[in-house]
Amino acid sequence: MTGDKKKAYPLRISAAVLDAMQHWSEDELRSLNAQIEYVLRDALRKAGRLKPGKAAPADDD
């Protein structure tokens, strides 16, 4: 990581989406938290909303 501090954030998410993310994270050998962060970061990058240098890979929790 590039020195960015992690912040905790309570996330409300549907059971179906959470279950799908859990299975996806297992398939990718990531923690659920790391998978959610990866998906969010990828969406932000694709939308041009992530500043350069902020796309460091997530720590595998």
Helix axes 32-46, 15-27, angle to 10 degrees: 100
The domain locations on the chain are 15-46
Cβ-contact 22, 32 below 8 angstroms = yes
Which pLDDT tens digit goes with each residue over 32-46?
999 999 999 999 999
Q: For residue 60, is pLDDT > 50?
A: no
- What are the backbone angles phi and psi of residue 55, rounded to the nearest 5°? -105, 30
pLDDT at 25: 97
- Give the pTM: 0.75
What is residue 1's DSSP assignment? -
Return the beta strands (E) in 1-61 as ranges: none
